[in-house]
Amino acid sequence: MQEIITLPRIITREFIQRHPEWIFVYGNDFHNHGALGQAWFAQGEPNTFPIYTCRKLCPSASNKYWSDNDEEHWKIVQDALDSIPIDKGPIIPFRKIGEGCSRMQDFAPRIFRFMREYLDRIQYPNIVIDYTL
């Protein structure tokens, strides 16, 4: 039986740094300019891997959302998923990847579903979230 991993409600940079043996997966824009939410805490840490959920999180950006009809968007997400080292330690995806500003579930629901199903398959099975932490 695998040990239970307890996560805080919000995964912070300090939490990630305290657990270098774990692999964290987070959402970010394709240009890695995200400065809020998941990217704020995870970007740049050696045990974190981004999933690109939109082109650019900028109010003035045109064509910033992914689309199920664009093969390039499928490839970008697939390449990001393929970059996750599934044999290097427990995989811990941040919750709600693709559900924030990227609005994947609205603009690219098939890509979103594909991404979520893949992450569900590779994530560590015994994760508990402690909402008091």
Residue 103 in domain: yes
* Number of folded domains that form the chain: 1
**DSSP type of residue 108:** -
Most confident of 4-18, 22-36, 52-66: 4-18
Residue 133 in domain: no
- Give me the DSSP letters along 6-70: EEESS--HHHHHH-TTSEEEEEEETTS---SHHHHHHTT-TTEEEEEEES---TT-SS-B--TT-
Identify the CA nearest to 113 among candidates 93, 126, 99: 99
Residue 15 in domain: yes
* Pair of tokens at residue 114: 């594909």
CA 6/CA 3 separation, integer angstroms: 10
Residue 131 in domain: no
Cβ contact 67:36 at 8 Å: no
Residue 29 in domain: yes
Partners of 127 in the β-ladder: 5
pLDDT digits (tens, 9 = 90+) for 32-71: 876 667 888 899 999 999 999 998 876 655 678 999 999 9
Q: Which domain holds residue 33?
A: 5-126
Residue 24 in domain: yes
pTM: 0.92
Residue 132 in domain: no
pLDDT digits (tens, 9 = 90+) for 81-123: 999 999 999 999 999 999 988 899 999 999 999 999 999 999 9
Residue 107 in domain: yes
- Range list of H helices, 1-133: 13-18, 37-42, 71-82, 104-107, 109-122
